[in-house]
Structure 1
Amino acid sequence: MADTTSLSVDVPALTSLLDGRYAEVRNLVRKNLAEYAGVIQDQVEMTDTDFRERVREVIKHMADTGATGLGFPTEHGGGGDVGASIAAFETLAFGDLSVLVKAGVQFGLFGGAVLQLGTKRHHDAYLRDLINADLLGCFAMTESGHGSNVQHLGTVATYDVATREFVITTTTESARKDYIGNAAAHASHAAVFAVLEIGGESQGVHAFVVPIRDEHGEAMPGVRIGDDGPKMGLRGVDNGRLWFDEVRVPRENLLNRYADVNEAGVYSSDIENPDRRFFTMLGTLVQGRVSVGGAGISASKVAITIAVKYALKRRQFGAPGTDEEELLLDYGLHQRRLLPRLARSYALHFAQEVLVEQLHTASNDPDYPERDRRALESRAAGTKALGTWHATDTIQEGREACGGAGYLAVNRFAALKADTDVFTTFEGDNHVLLQLVAKGLLTDYSTNFEELDQFGVARFVADLAVETVMERTAVHKILERLRDVLPSSDDGQDESTLLDADYQLAMLRWREEHVLSGVARRLKRGIDGGSDPVQVFSQVQDHVIHAARSHMERLVLEAFTEKLQAHPDDPNAETLAAVRDLFGLSTIEADRAWWMEHGRLSSARSKSITREVNALCRRLRPVADDLVDGFGIPVEMLQAEMLEQGY
């Protein structure tokens, strides 16, 4: 059973641990948020048009402080630190999310495309004004008819040798660029993704810088601009539609880091394989997914903070014969609703921290191994999916936990719910992203299906999947080590083993290995039977998603565990260990039917896990307020009328 001794929290030390190496950057953004705290109420009171202008004003102010250009090269006025840039973006998510998304479009998507896909001529021409928000841009990839399937865009760019220009055309109505942030009102330029055709031959999707408005804000010749209209949320972001009717741009406007076209119209690239070239190009834009995932995690922190603080003020019912009613958070069910989600917010924070560190390293190492880069892209996709789904879940549960008060716009949940809902499809639909995670796990041995029997495939997958905390070794040794820690369903061990981090990790590893092996067996069986590989994959997509989620939850728990191991003397180590246990056991509990189906969890032990989760919630309840204060959310961002009332 969980230790019943009381826990304590050193809040400043906890914030320092969470802020990590970027405390100074995060504090700069907190200061900016506090200065423009009124924008949260503006979101409620202003018209869409006025609020868009207000958000633009805030973006310009933050650009002037240097908080939004941290990821760009110093020679162009940036900070030269990708990790700092993401830390700033994550912290910005404590405030109004229209500001966050507009900043993400400007500095992350448009700026990222120019920086990562362009070369010196583009950097010299655009970056300084872009960083200063004097030149606003948009990222025109998604089309009405094509979202995730970027390789089959309908926008086409052909090269005119006579004029040395690219001619960009929207070929069909479904090829219009859609949902493009900054397009409807403010952007003067767009990074346009189009299929490049040279002499009638397609060279795949490439990106071009295309002016879409003149200095007076009028649409450029051949460019048609529309407004997407009212949305569920993000009222301060001007999402729009773009059509191109044979719009001409100079040859130099091709973002040519990975491919170029000379004056004579000859296409060249150092990456010969067109598919590899395409995915290399998209891989450079991974920062967008990392940022959105981090923003989702930050939004969940805001929601859980408001919900916990309300539960520590609001009273309801009471013991018979007493006059004083009980605080909401004293009810076991209320603890169950909020505290596991608080624990998951902490766990995802540390998982995001690992991801950002890997991205920072990759961004500063031109020789970063290709295998590691693919793993980074996979981890970014999976963390984004888990982080944004967690935001949706936590905001909804937090709203419900606050009753009717949570439904009022003055208490922030309305904006949080509406503004973050798109995060689950923004920068990639989460289900598609988890398929990418699973495909990445399968890729390394997919070509070996013909040589492997079913047992061989399973063994190969187990070897592939079980890594990171455990030393990579032969499959039989892996399974032996798992058996040492992972009891059978009827082992009779006492409940103290449930709080063993090795036990929790072993359970998650075993699930990951088993599910992934099952996917491999089904794929092999279908392929051996002569079925179309695409159809075979479609038939096992439910297993694919489960495999990817299992893999990512294992990585999240490992990140939390490794953080604790790295700071054994931290003043909050004992409390954070309890938070980690709550995350680990509530994760097992959520999928306990699967473990029971596969003989790894008896009904008795399943009940023990539930008792332990309840005990951990009771143990953490006295420090819940300190745990949410540890996030360091500026008090000005907790603008909820219900927190100011006495009950």
Structure 2
Amino acid sequence: MAPDENGYVQPVVNVPALTRLLDGEHAIVRDRVRGALIEHSGLLAEADELSKDAYRDRVLEVVRATAEDGLTSYHVPKEYGGSGDFGAAVAAFETTAFGDLSALVKTGVQFGLFGGAILNLGTQPHHDAWLADMAAARLLGCFAMTETGHGSNVQELGTTATYDATTQEFIISTPDDSARKDYIGNAARHAELATVFAQLIVTSPDGQPQNHGVHCLVVPIRAKGKVLPGVRIEDCGPKMGLNGVDNGRIWFDDVRVPRTNLLNRFADVSEDGVYSSEIENPNRRFFTMLGTLVMGRVCVGGAGISASKVALTIATRYATKRRQFSTSEGEPEQLLLDYGMHQRRLFPLLARTYALHFAQDSLRQRFDDVFSGRADDERTRRGLESRAAGIKALGTWHATRTIQECREACGGAGYLAANRFTALKADTDVFTTFEGDNHVLLQLVAKGLLTDYSSEFSDMDQFELVKFVAGMAVEQVVERTMAHKLLERLKDVLPGGDDSWDQEAGLLSPAYQLSMLRFREEHMLAGVAKRLKRGIDSGMPSGEVFSRVQDHVIAVANAHVERLILDAFVGRFAAMPQGDNRVALGLLCDLFALTTIEADRAWFMEHNRLTTNRSKAISREINDLCRKLRPIAVDLVDAFGIPEELLRSEALLR
């Protein structure tokens, strides 16, 4: 294509090649899942028509069918029906999110949470007893962790598992309604077993009951479709969305299970009632157990990003069909996507979706490396847990924002259930709070930053962490983060020294974009450390200190994750060979970076890293990038590879 009068050559997108790039090393797995989604695409319409129980049973049929096709248990070892490929399991889950999200969540509960607890917390006898039937969906289960009174604070769960040495059984009890297991997927209708998290109580040699903290046991809750004695289950009732998932509440009234039902990878109780664990520190043992269940967070973040892709595909295509107003008399009405404001609404979200995709793909690779044993050390695991928490938080918030904006961009047509936004909005809304409330997860990210993922400090609760940071010389934190060392580093990026922050040239330089986000992250981190120390030095209780700086803690975590996302995008772009798709991805990368800076321009101005003139220049550049993306926008959403049958927007898109 010839250049225009300004010398600019409009990029051309090779859609199949871009789809292959996005699908990555698990392209075959993703294509197999797409085929299954097309086969069961009728479920999207049935969800609006079936009764509650009929919809739940239909979702179960679809989940079992995909299990029979071997699409749900890639992470399970080969001898139990899987392939031992953790990366493939994440890729399959992300792709499944293009379809009915009740089926997705039920898949996650059955194979990721219930099956994952047995796989990662159990040992070979547990694997031999349950994994093969779980993987084939012959044995249905649920993951009973959350309680009515204890959501994010898992360490303080109220359910108890008390060992009776005379019968070699654990007695599972719900002491009060605040300790009932709540919002448990699969519990209300289908689950036969539950992996129950409870306080493990064993009588010590001196005859005193000793609480060893939260552990996981396998507890039968149904047999032949009937709830077992001592177990009480109630349906949670209609929800905002995901009504194809049978969420329930569970109470246990002194239910006895064999001693061997304790999932004992990290701790065990002998026949005569002696508790043992290779991990002596109770906090470290608890966090190690939870760390093995990180797959849920990795998958939920990816699912949110996939849902954003569906919304953007529908809204972008609609904007190339729908016309509104003409620019001059006698001319045809203008397409929505030709309006600058419409581009401003959709294209930054499209760029952020691409950026999140590459960050999620990097996370998937790290997860695969850790769980396959290629990079399984404590520091790497801690880093994986932190990154998974951060990308899950930003990815699911992005889904909520993107779906809403895309719905509005489709006007009244987007409000019709037939055009999928109803289900997308309702079914993804809970993503921001399950697998960890996003604000709590970002506190986990900030904790990792403050302690530099050091195993010495990873077992601290938030108040111990405050005291630790406050006890450091604040110069240690500042020197390790911002201070003069950062500015020295930036001189290589900005040759003119500190004044170069105010030059218009270089806005599209990845080095400049990354340096801006790094500066923000490290300056914020030093600020949090100073505030923690100042609060403790003033004699304030550590709990109050933490509460007062919580907004800064969340801000630094958000800044850190956004920088990681840009790192991933820039890295993927740099590795691409020359070609049409490289130019298109370069535009998206620039748009993501500059809109991220623009969104926080007040902070950068407050800290003398952005002048009003440069801020205006960034906004002009963003508008220009949007105009350059306009001709290839449909190709960019088509590259997501969402089957036409799943868009469910025939009338809207024709």
Smaller-chain TM-score range? Answer: over 0.9
In structure 2, the residue matched to 1:454 is 474
Picking from 339, 351, 355, the partner of 2:359 is 351
Deviates more, 1:43-52 or 1:477-486: 477-486
Match of 1:152 in 2: 156
Which of 8, 14, 21 pairs up with 1:10? 14
Spell out the pairing of 1:296-307 with structure 2 (5 A cutoff): 296-307=304-315
Matched residues in 2 for 1:485 and 1:532: separation? 43
Q: Which residue of 2 aligns with 1:525?
A: 534
Letter in 2 for 1:547: V
Of stretches 564-573 and 586-595 in structure 1, the one that deviates more from structure 2 is 564-573
Which residue is 1:60 aligned to?
64
Residue of structure 1 equivalent to 2:51: 47
Bigger mean CA deviation after superposition, 318-327 or 380-389: 318-327
Q: Do 1:192 and 1:210's aligned partners in 2 also have CA atoms closer than 8 Å?
A: yes
Describe the shift of the 1:366–1:632 C-alpha distance in structure 2 as closer, same or farther (beyond 3 A).
Answer: closer
Q: Kindly state the Cα deviation for residue 454 of structure 1 after the two structures are TM-superposed.
A: 3.2
Between the aligned partners of 2:521 and 2:7, the Cα distance in structure 1 is 29
CA contact (8 A) 1:13 1:571 kept: no
TM-score, scaled relative to structure 2: 0.94
| CA distance, structure 2, for counterparts of residue 406 and residue 358 of structure 1 | 37
Residue 456 of structure 1 aligns with an amino acid whose one-letter code is Q
In the other structure, the counterpart of 2:267 is 259
TM-score by length of 1: 0.95
The amino acid of 1:435's aligned partner reads Q
Deviation sequence 1:340-365 (CA, Å, 0-9, x none): 00000000000001101001000111
* Structure 2 counterpart of 1:497, from 486, 506, 519: 506
**Does 1:425 pair with 2:445?**
no
d(CA) in 2 for partners of 1:120, 1:148? 30
Partner of 2:298: 290
1:603 counterpart letter in structure 2:
T
Answering whether residue 180 of structure 2 is matched by residue 176 of structure 1, we say yes
Cα separation, partners in 2 of 1:275 and 1:3, compared to 1, 3 Å = farther
* Among candidates 549, 552, 557, match of residue 558 of structure 2: 549
Q: 1:82 aligns with which of 63, 86, 101?
A: 86
How far apart are 1:131 and its partner, in Å? 0.3
After superposition, the CA RMSD in angstroms is 1.6
Q: Deviations over 1:288-335 (max 9, x none)?
A: 000000000000000111000100100001123124100000000000
The 3 A distance-change label for structure 1 pair 125 and 395 is same
Q: Among 340, 345, 355, which residue is 1:337 paired with?
A: 345
The answer to whether 1:71 aligns with 2:75 is yes
**For the structure 1 residues 246 and 476, does the alpha-carbon distance in structure 2 shift closer, same or farther, using more than 3 Å as the test?**
same
2:230 alignment partner AA: G
TM-superposition CA deviations, 1:415-460 (whole Å, max 9, x none): 0000000000010000000000001111248686466433333112
Aligned to 2:525: 516
Match of 1:161 in 2: 165
- Is this contact kept in 2: 1:449–1:524, CA < 8 A? yes
Please state how far the C-alpha of 1:488 moved relative to its aligned partner.
7.4
Partner of 2:106: 102
CA apart distance, 1:644: 4.1
Offset of residue 5 of structure 1: 2.5
Partner of 1:414: 422
Deviation of 1:257 after TM superposition, in Å, equals 0.4
Deviations 1:486-520, CA, capped at 9 Å, x for gaps: 57786486534100000000000000000010000
- 2:503 and 2:448 map into 1 onto residues whose CA distance is 38
The answer to whether the 8 A contact 1:308-1:624 is kept is yes
What's the secondary structure of 1:194's corresponding residue?
A: strand
Change (3 A) 1:326 1:426: same
Instruction: Determine if contact 2:470/2:534 at 8 Å carries over to the other structure.
Output: no
What corresponds to 1:467 in structure 2? none
Task: Report the AA paired with residue 197 of structure 2.
Answer: F
Further displaced range: 559-568 or 349-358:
559-568
Q: Deviations over 1:376-422 (max 9, x none)?
A: 10000000001000000000000000011111100000000000000
Distance 1:280 1:642 in 2: 51
Which residue in 1 is equivalent to 2:572?
563
Q: In 1, Cα distance between the equivalents of 2:399 and 2:117?
A: 27
Aligned residues: 631
Distance 2:377 2:114 in 1: 26
**1:232 pairs with 240, 247, 260, which one?**
240
Map 1:346-495 → 2, pairs under 5 A: 346-365=354-373, 368-444=376-452, 449=469, 452-462=472-482, 476-486=484-494, 491=500, 495=504
Contact 1:489 / 1:599 at 8 angstroms: preserved in 2?
A: no
| 1:442-490, Cα deviation, whole Å (9 max, x unpaired) | 124868646643333311234xxxxxxxxxxxx7444212134257786
2:30 and 2:472 mapped to 1: Cα distance?
Answer: 51
2:84 and 2:605 mapped to 1: Cα distance? 50
Alignment of structure 1 residues 31-42 onto 2, 5 Å: 31-42=35-46
Separation in 1 of the partners of 2:470 and 2:440? 27
Could you say which residue in structure 1 is the equivalent of 2:460?
none
2:459 is matched with which residue? Answer: none
Question: What is the match of residue 609 of structure 2?
Answer: 600
Structure 1 residues 453 and 508: alpha-carbon distance in aligned structure 2, compared to 1, 3 A threshold: same
Residue 590 in 1 paired to residue 594 in 2? no
Q: Give 1:585 deviation, angstroms.
A: 0.2
What letter matches 1:277 in structure 2? R
Structure 2 Cα separation of the partners of residues 499 and 578 of structure 1: 9
Provide the C-alpha distance between the structure 1 equivalents of 2:328 and 2:586, rounded to a whole number of angstroms: 37
Per-residue Cα deviation, 1:200-232 (whole angstroms, up to 9, x for no partner): 1100000000000012x1111100010000000
Post-superposition offset of 1:45 = 1.3
Where do residues 178-217 of structure 1 align in structure 2 (5 Å cutoff)?
Answer: 178-199=182-203, 200-215=209-224, 217=225
SS at match of 2:507: helix
Q: 1:599 to 1:476 in 2, by over 3 A?
A: closer
Kept in 1, the 8 Å contact 2:486–2:519? The answer is: no
Aligned partners of 2:7 and 2:447: how far apart in 1? 41
CA contact (8 A) 1:489 1:601 kept: no
Q: Tell me, what secondary structure is at the counterpart of 1:314?
A: coil
Q: How far, CA to CA, are the matches of 1:500 and 1:58 in structure 2?
A: 48
1:328 aligns with 2:336: yes
Cα distance in 2, alignment partners of residues 124 and 450 from structure 1: 49
Structure 1 residue runs without a partner (length 5+)? 463-474
Identical pairs, percent:
63
- CA distance in 2 between counterparts of 1:67 and 1:424 reads 26
Structure 2 letter corresponding to 1:407: Y
- The SS at the match of 1:303 is helix
Q: Alignment partner of 2:226: what SS?
A: coil
In 2, are the aligned partners of 1:489 and 1:605 still within 8 Å (CA)? no
Q: Pick from 577, 582, 585: which aligns with 1:573? A: 582
SS of residue in 2 equivalent to 1:209: strand
**For residue 475 of structure 2, what is the amino acid of its counterpart?**
F
Structure 1 stretch 482-491 or stretch 155-164: which is displaced more?
Answer: 482-491
Conservation of the 8 A alpha-carbon contact between 1:68 and 1:85? yes
Distance change in 2, residues 1:568/1:476 (3 Å): farther
**AA partner of residue 272 (structure 2):** A
Looking at structure 2, the residues matched to 448 and 231 of structure 1 have their Cα atoms a distance apart, in angstroms, of 42
**Closer, same or farther: CA 406–367 of 1 in aligned 2, 3 Å:** closer
Query: Gaps (5+ residues) in structure 2?
Result: 1-5, 204-208, 455-464
